[in-house]
Amino acid sequence: MENILIEKMDHNGRGIARTDNKTIFVSNALPNEVVDIRITFEKKKIAEAEVIKYIKKSEDRINPKCPYYGKCGGCDLMHINYDNQLMYKESKVKEIMERYGNISCEIIKPIVGGEQYNYRNKITLHVKDKAGFYLKKSSKIITIEKCDIADKKINEIIEKLNNINLDGIYEIVIRTSKNNQSTMLVLKLYNEIDNNKYINDFKDLVDTIVLYKKRQFETIYGNGYILEKLNNFNFKISPDSFFQVNTNQTIKLYDKVVEYADLNRNENVLDLFCGTGTIGIYLSSYCNKVLGVEINKYAIEDAKFNKKLNNINNIEFKCLDAVKINQVTDSFDVVIIDPPRTGLEKETVAYLNELCPKKIVYVSCDAITLARDIKLLSEKYDVIEITPFDLFSNTEHVENVCKLVRK
């Protein structure tokens, strides 16, 4: 199709065009651009397409610095200058909140930006002879020499990996701590080979090496974890621990959680979906006590480790599914929730409405599920403020922190 006008962008960073009573979602296309396209997927009223020629380019378009952009499926906004990425994300949050949550744009604060490149503290590489990323919408692997959004230390490791025989390995996870400058390599294996081979091949690259085989982790070099520092707190990062991938932005985000919680030293806090205890520990000096709840037993083990590591005495952790949170009979003044992308289950919403704490601080990686859950809590809570954070530069993802106060 020729001379297609792109009207605006959708929530996934694609351009939107309309022709012949059909809505077409066009990857790597910006508002007001005129393009020739090739349809890649089609239904009666919608289609997906890719650009085969730019007739008129937007002034906001830049040349992506990554040589794999458009091939690798990791980034989708690198063709937009960073200021406009932030504007797009902020307006996306406003539109979603207004449309799905009946939330006024006036309470949404300006997005908090960060580094555009070299921010990721973790990447996963797939292996077929060489290490790389999956091609977009494919299981084929493109070999890479570096990743522009990954930490520089990770890129040093990638460069050296390309000169090592990776037989027997199907996946490699590289994790690094920004503030402690330590690194971890997790090698996922098809079959067992002498551990000394992996130690000899990789020990000069990283501080610790962990093998994953038969659904179990085995540390063969170093202590099996790394430590990251967020302000005055240290946190253990295990091979499969969840830890925000953008360390510097995480500190800003947690500071906002502290601000929105607005704690006095007499209040009790429930940290729901607590993971390895990072938010609860970060808040602990501002309140009377914290209970962290998390379904993943390995995360709870790390949380208890982090409690001892930081000499925190007023926090406890419980391994429990959030849908069974009504089993916790304690009362709480403030609840912090940081759920997965799917948001809250109806049982958890019911518990929060019944518990009715004075404040809820909701950390969300998906604006649509946040808007949905806000609506479900709206009988008893007013939304006071939402601050978006750019934790994932060059991608369409946005993190949000929302303050709700009991009516």
User: What local confidence, expressed as pLDDT, does residue 406 receive?
Assistant: 97
User: What local confidence, expressed as pLDDT, does residue 70 receive?
Assistant: 87
User: What local confidence, expressed as pLDDT, does residue 222 receive?
Assistant: 97
**Average pLDDT estimate for 305-332:** 94
Q: Is the pLDDT at 185 greater than 80, yes or no?
A: yes
Distance CA 321, CA 308 (A): 24
Specify if 238 maps to a domain. no
pLDDT in tens, 333-372: 999 999 999 999 999 999 999 999 999 999 999 999 999 9
Distance CA 346, CA 329 (A): 18
Q: Is the pLDDT at 180 greater than 90, yes or no?
A: no
Distance CA 268, CA 328 (A): 13
Are residue 257 and residue 384 in the same domain, yes or no?
Answer: yes
pLDDT in tens, 365-393: 999 999 999 999 999 999 999 999 999 99
Domain containing 37 — which CATH number?
A: 2.40.50.140
Distance CA 327, CA 320 (A): 9
Greater confidence (204 vs 255) lies with 255
Are residue 387 and residue 257 in the same domain, yes or no?
Answer: yes
Distance CA 76, CA 94 (A): 20
**Average pLDDT estimate for 269-278:** 97
Choosing from 75, 274, 365, 402, the catalytic residue is 365
Q: For a pLDDT cut of 70, what percent of the chain falls above it?
A: 100
User: What local confidence, expressed as pLDDT, does residue 137 receive?
Assistant: 79
Cα of first residue to Cα of last residue in the chain, in angstroms, is 54
Greater confidence (73 vs 311) lies with 311
- Per the structure, how many domains does the chain have? 3
Domain endpoint, select from 227, 254, 271? 227
Q: Is the pLDDT at 192 greater than 80, yes or no?
A: no
Dihedral sign computed on CA atoms, order 10, 48, 27, 68: positive
Are residue 324 and residue 186 in the same domain, yes or no?
Answer: no
User: What local confidence, expressed as pLDDT, does residue 270 receive?
Assistant: 98
Are residue 174 and residue 322 in the same domain, yes or no?
Answer: no
Are residue 371 and residue 398 in the same domain, yes or no?
Answer: yes
365 flagged as catalytic: yes
Are residue 179 and residue 297 in the same domain, yes or no?
Answer: no
Domain containing 181 — which CATH number?
A: 2.40.50.1070
User: What local confidence, expressed as pLDDT, does residue 296 receive?
Assistant: 93
What mean pLDDT value characterizes the chain?
95
pLDDT in tens, 24-66: 999 999 999 999 999 999 999 999 999 999 999 999 999 999 9
Specify if 75 maps to a domain. no
Domain containing 398 — which CATH number?
A: 3.40.50.150
Q: Is the pLDDT at 149 greater than 80, yes or no?
A: yes
Select from 149, 150, 160 the least CA-distant residue to 206.
160
**Average pLDDT estimate for 130-136:** 91
Specify if 70 maps to a domain. no
Are residue 266 and residue 210 in the same domain, yes or no?
Answer: no
Q: For a pLDDT cut of 90, what percent of the chain falls above it?
A: 86
Are residue 260 and residue 378 in the same domain, yes or no?
Answer: yes
Domain endpoint, select from 227, 258, 281? 227
Domain endpoint, select from 195, 227, 259? 227
Beta-bridge mates of residue 235 = 228
Q: Is the pLDDT at 281 greater than 80, yes or no?
A: yes
Those residues with Cβ within 8 angstroms of residue 163's Cβ, 6 or more apart along the chain or in another chain:
none
pLDDT in tens, 257-270: 999 999 999 999 99
Dihedral sign computed on CA atoms, order 68, 71, 74, 79: positive
Encoded tokens for 218 = 């085995």
Are residue 195 and residue 306 in the same domain, yes or no?
Answer: no
Q: Write out the residue range of the structural domain in which residue 213 sits.
A: 122-227
Q: Is the pLDDT at 96 greater than 80, yes or no?
A: yes
**Average pLDDT estimate for 89-96:** 98
User: What local confidence, expressed as pLDDT, does residue 260 receive?
Assistant: 98
| Overall pTM > 0.85 | yes
Are residue 290 and residue 178 in the same domain, yes or no?
Answer: no
Q: Alpha-carbon dihedral of residues 315, 238, 344, 233, nearest 10 degrees?
A: 40
Q: Is the pLDDT at 193 greater than 80, yes or no?
A: no
Are residue 111 and residue 126 in the same domain, yes or no?
Answer: no
User: What local confidence, expressed as pLDDT, does residue 313 receive?
Assistant: 97
User: What local confidence, expressed as pLDDT, does residue 405 receive?
Assistant: 98
Are residue 96 and residue 149 in the same domain, yes or no?
Answer: no
Phi-psi domain of 356 (left: phi exceeds 0; alpha: psi -120 through 50; beta: other): left
User: What local confidence, expressed as pLDDT, does residue 214 receive?
Assistant: 86
Per-residue pLDDT band for 138 (boundaries 50, 70, 90) equals: confident
Q: Is the pLDDT at 194 greater than 90, yes or no?
A: no
Specify if 79 maps to a domain. no
Distance CA 293, CA 172 (A): 30
**Average pLDDT estimate for 305-314:** 98
